[in-house]
Amino acid sequence: MREDGMSVHIDKIRIDGGTQSRAAINEATVAEYAEAMEDPNTAFPPAIVYFDGKEYWLADGFHRLEAWRRIGRTDIPTDVRQGDRRRAILHSVAANSAHGLRRTNEDKRRAVMTLLEDPEWSQWSDREIARRCSVSHPFVATVRASVTGSVTSDDRQYTTRHGTTATMDTGNIGKAAPQPSLAECQPDAAAAPAKTDDCQPAAADPQSAPEPDPLAPYRKGLSGLTREGLEDEAAGLRANLADAKTELRALRDENRRLKEQVKNFEGDQAEVIRRQDRLIKHKDSEVFRANESLALEKRRTYAMGKEIEQLKRSLEMQEIVL
């Protein structure tokens, strides 16, 4: 049940129940919305809230609500739907996937983490969580692996890019490397002297201790995948990398556009120029974060390529033996 076109007092709308799925409020977007809202001819869609009989939980429209608040609105247009806070959360994790300010990869990750950190929703398969959050299935699998180092049991069977059904090889996940037997370490006295390099580890040299591997959590999550699974995972990471590049290009274009606007202002436009400068600094920060995200996706793609090459070599060795 829903009530369209209803106004609700802004102070009655709850925004503290974990229904915000974005990583952060975009101040430049709020400022842009607030300026547009000053024009009476500009109409914005209502905020979506869920009403449980007592509280109004905001599910979609955090930037609009903040902009309305800044221009002094007390009653704001709302699309009121029946449901509790959890219904609002489930709505929020897919909000802005097709409209409004484009979600960043960090926004998508926060939405997925909202479900993975819940005792009930974390039991859902990666595909179901991906459907709820409007993201790709490999993206959910990567986030889950980075947090738990494992995959969901119902995702151990999957459809490969060749259209066949495959099963992940999870038999060796978490198992230590085989150790030499007692007979190998203590051979018969009459036999040739045994090599003891594998039986007695050399003393650790603190000066040559290896650096921690920043990709270790991702390697652990990939250790049980077959070759087809690794290829599918690599395809998903490349898709995320392409999204990150597209987002970076859009941010750079927007940054250039804002800089051109500042350059073209003439006369006594000090206040306008200061406002544009603030927007440019904010966009510069977004470009920096996008570059960081792009670098992370490149590292993940590189690690995936290494895993695939290693698996190919292993398969070739098995074929030689057979």
Mean pLDDT, range 87-97, rounded to an integer: 86
Asked whether residue 107 is assigned to any structural domain, the reply reads no
List pLDDT tens digits, range 108-160. Answer: 899 999 999 999 999 999 889 998 998 888 889 988 988 776 555 444 444 45
CA distance 201 to 197: 7
Give the model's pLDDT for residue 173: 44
Instruction: Say which residue, 286 or 2, is predicted with more confidence.
Output: 286
Give the model's pLDDT for residue 48: 93
Give the model's pLDDT for residue 190: 47
DSSP state letter for 193:
P
Give the model's pLDDT for residue 217: 66
Confidence of residue 20 (pLDDT cuts 50, 70, 90): confident
Asked whether residue 211 is assigned to any structural domain, the reply reads no
User: What token pair was written down for 243?
Assistant: 């999204």
List pLDDT tens digits, range 231-265. Answer: 666 776 777 777 778 878 888 888 888 777 776 66
Asked whether residue 165 is assigned to any structural domain, the reply reads no
Give the model's pLDDT for residue 282: 80
DSSP result, 24-75? S--HHHHHHHHHHHTSTT---PPEEEEE-SS-EEEEE-HHHHHHHHHTT-SE
Asked whether residue 180 is assigned to any structural domain, the reply reads no
Asked whether residue 12 is assigned to any structural domain, the reply reads yes
Pairing verdict, β 13-14 and 2-9 = unpaired
Is the pLDDT at 1 greater than 60? The verdict is: no
Give the model's pLDDT for residue 26: 86
Instruction: Say which residue, 193 or 303, is predicted with more confidence.
Output: 303
pTM of the model: 0.48
Q: Are 248 and 291 in contact (CB under 8 A)?
A: yes
Mean pLDDT, range 189-218, rounded to an integer: 54
Instruction: Find the domain containing 42 and state its range.
Output: 1-101
Instruction: Say which residue, 229 or 64, is predicted with more confidence.
Output: 64
Pairing verdict, β 165-167 and 75-82 = unpaired
CA distance 230 to 160: 10
Nearest CA to 107 out of 247, 283, 279 is that of 247
Q: Which amino acid is at 306?
A: K
Nearest CA to 219 out of 208, 230, 228, 209 is that of 230
* Number of folded domains that form the chain: 1
Cα distances from 80 to residues 59, 68, 294, 316, in angstroms, run: 10, 17, 38, 60
- pLDDT averaged over every residue in the chain: 76
Asked whether residue 298 is assigned to any structural domain, the reply reads no
Give the model's pLDDT for residue 54: 92
CA distance 80 to 58: 9
Query: What residues pair up with 51 in beta bridges, in sequence order?
Result: 56, 82
Give the model's pLDDT for residue 174: 44
The answer to which of 1-10, 89-98, 155-164, 228-237 has the lowest mean pLDDT is 155-164
Asked whether residue 32 is assigned to any structural domain, the reply reads yes
Helices assigned H by DSSP within the chain: 27-37, 62-70, 85-92, 105-116, 126-133, 137-148, 182-185, 216-222, 227-264, 270-321
Asked whether residue 89 is assigned to any structural domain, the reply reads yes
CATH number of the domain that residue 9 is part of: 3.90.1530.10
